[in-house]
Structure formats: structure tokens, C-alpha cells
Amino acid sequence: MDTTVSLAGLTLKNPVMTASGTCGYGVELAPFLDLSCLGALVVKGLSVRRRPGNPPPRIVETCGGMLNAIGLENIGMEAFIEECLPGLGVLDTRVLVNILGESEAEYGVLVERLGDQDGVHGIEVNVSCPNVGKGGIAFGADPCMLEKLIRFLRPKTRKPLIVKLSPNVTDVGEMAVRAEAAGADALCLINTLRGMSVDSETRRPRLANVVGGLSGPAIKPVALRMVWEASGRVRIPLVGVGGICTAQDALEFLICGATAVQVGTAQLRNPQACVEILGGIEEYLERHGIARLADLIGSLRMGS
Ligand SMILES: Cc1cc2nc3c(=O)[nH]c(=O)nc-3n(C[C@H](O)[C@H](O)[C@H](O)COP(=O)(O)O)c2cc1C
């Protein structure tokens, strides 16, 4: 059975990836998961300089998910290149780096520097983090700013650019169209949905940042709808993410047009989630007599 998929010029041995921010820089997860079994590993969002992130509490459990307001804490691109990338290079998987800038110029520096590294196979451009004061979301919420940013970044690398879209917009299809027109090689949908949680006893917000990003099973129907909408508007491949916990969840995204899937919150609860999801996908292909996983992508049956 052939589980390979082609994403933005990269061949992935299977469609299952970790989602950015939920597996650190890979090394943290290595004792619990054989990273080489992944289709790709997406590392925590990197900025030009180290970021301390938001003050705690930064994580709250919610019904069917969690809120986070990490604020893009990360070690910065140079520390990543020196300390983490050499270890990732020995893995038999694709390494995608997720980036976040506070300005076009910062995104440009990140794409040039990280795009130059042999061990980096592609760049996921996060224009959608809802938990930071400036940067990211401004680009992800305005179609003109998004298009201008991607046009600016496109000539800076030959590596695939995957644009990670925000669900916190009125028309995600429009954002998808603009990113494709500007030269994106693939799109990733979705980042977290803005939310909040309050302790009624103390009448205080549970997150120090007051608002955070909702992830986990609660957002799956929204993510699935957005992938399906985008698949009808663009030709470039899509990566589906949002609430995927089981093989069945992943299959729904593939059927709705995603070429690959990412697993985030589920990975925090169960570090083996990706392996179990991959096993379930293979079992499904066998049961349905589908020899090539690629034939399942976008195979949603409509009408009677
Ligand atoms: C703790 C945490 C940290 C995250 N950090 C990032 C990040 O650095 N960059 C990014 O693009 N997305 C980040 N995300 C969003 C996830 O990659 C993913 O898009 C989202 O959580 C939805 O998927 P899920 O429901 O499977 O978690 C983060 C999510 C969580 C829960």
C-alpha cells in the first residue's frame, strides 16, 4: 500500500505530521516517539530573536480542548540552527520550520536564513497566532497584507512556503486565494480560534493574557469546514489541522481535500497519537481496498 503524498514539491512517506508548538524542536518528543515514522515534523514557531512568551498561567483546559496563550516563546532562529537542527538532520523525516515575525522585514530574515539550511525542507509561515500583541495575526487577518507579505517572501527562498492560515477571519477561502496568488506552495489550515475562560468564583480570567487560542477536538468541525471551503477555491495542496485525535479524524480531512494532516493537542495527551493515527489510516486503506492514499484525497461524495 502506498501512503506517500506529494506536498509542495516534497514527497512525504505518509501524510501525518506534528503540529507546530506541540512537539517543541523534536528533541523533547524523541524519547516518547520514533520521529522517523512521521511524514514530517513541524517545529515550534521561531522568531529572529529569542522570545520569553507570555507570563503564566498560559494553558487552561476547556470542554473538548484547551486554551493556550504561550505567546510564541522560542529560542530564536540562530540557537535553533546551532543546537537543534544538527540532531534533526539524522532523522528519516521531513523537517518544516514554523516562523513568526513582527514585521515583513523580520519574516524576510527568517525565510532567508532558515531557507538556506540543508536540514530545513520547507517553511511554514505562521500569519495566524492570536496570542501576541503585534505581528502574525495582523498579516493573517487582512487579505491585502497577507498577499503583500507572501509576495515579498516568495523570491527569498527556493524551499516550499506553506502559509498557515487563521480561522479568525470572515472568509478563509479569500485568504487562501490571496496566498496562492502570491506564490504560496501549500496552505495549512487552521491555527487556533480566539477564546477565553473565566473563574466565576474569583471573577478572574484563567489566562494571564486573558484571551488565548482554542485547540483540540472542539475545533475540528470548524477546521474541517475551512479545509473543505479552501479546497474548492485553490489548486495548491492543503494541510489540515485542528482537533485531529484519531485516524477517523485524519481521514475526514483527507477526504475533504487535505493532502496531509497535523496533530497538535492530541499529541500533548498521547505522544504516540501520530503513530496510532497512521496505523488506523493504513488499516482503513486496506479495508476499503485503496492501494494509493493519494486516491482518497478530496474524494468527498456529494449528493445522493
Ligand atoms: C501549546 C500550543 C502551542 C502552539 N504553538 C504554535 C506555534 O508556535 N506556531 C503555530 O503556527 N501554531 C501553534 N499552535 C497551533 C497548532 O499548531 C495547531 O494549529 C492548533 O493547535 C490546532 O490543532 P490541534 O487542535 O490539533 O491542536 C500551537 C498550539 C498549541 C496547543
- 50-83 tens-digit pLDDT: 999 999 999 999 999 999 999 989 999 999 999 9
Mean pLDDT across the stretch 173-188? Answer: 98
pLDDT, one tens digit per residue, over 238-260 is: 999 999 999 999 999 999 999 99
Q: What is the pLDDT of residue 130?
A: 55
**pLDDT of 122 above 90:** yes
Mean pLDDT across the stretch 231-236? Answer: 98
Cβ-in-10-Å burial (0-12, 13-18, 19+) of 303 comes to exposed
* 131 ligand 1 Cβ < 6 A: no
How far is it, in rounded angstroms, from Cα 125 to Cα 279? Answer: 29
Residue identifier of the C-alpha nearest atom 6 of ligand 1: 21
Q: What is the pLDDT of residue 155?
A: 98
Q: Please count the residues of the chain.
A: 304
**pLDDT of 132 above 70:** no
| Structural element, H or E, at residue 220 | helix 220-231
- Which of these is catalytic: 23, 84, 129, 274? 129
Cell of 21: 508548538
Residue identifier of the C-alpha nearest atom 26 of ligand 1: 264
CA distances from 54 to 58, 80, 132 (A): 7, 20, 8
pLDDT, one tens digit per residue, over 270-281 is: 999 999 999 999
pLDDT, one tens digit per residue, over 95-104 is: 999 999 989 9
Q: Which residue matches cell numbers 532558515?
A: 114
Mean pLDDT across the stretch 210-234? Answer: 98
CA of 214 to the centre of ligand 1 (A): 9
CA of 293 to the centre of ligand 1 (A): 26
In angstroms and rounded to an integer, the radius of gyration of the C-alpha atoms of the chain is 18
* 166 ligand 1 Cβ < 6 A: no
* Residues β-bridged to residue 240: 189, 261
Q: How many other CB atoms are found less than 10 A from the CB of residue 96?
A: 26
Verify whether residue 274 is a known catalytic residue. no
Mean pLDDT across the stretch 211-223? Answer: 97
Which residue among 68, 107, 162, 215 has the greatest number of ligand 1 atoms within 8 angstroms of its CB, and so is best to mutate?
215
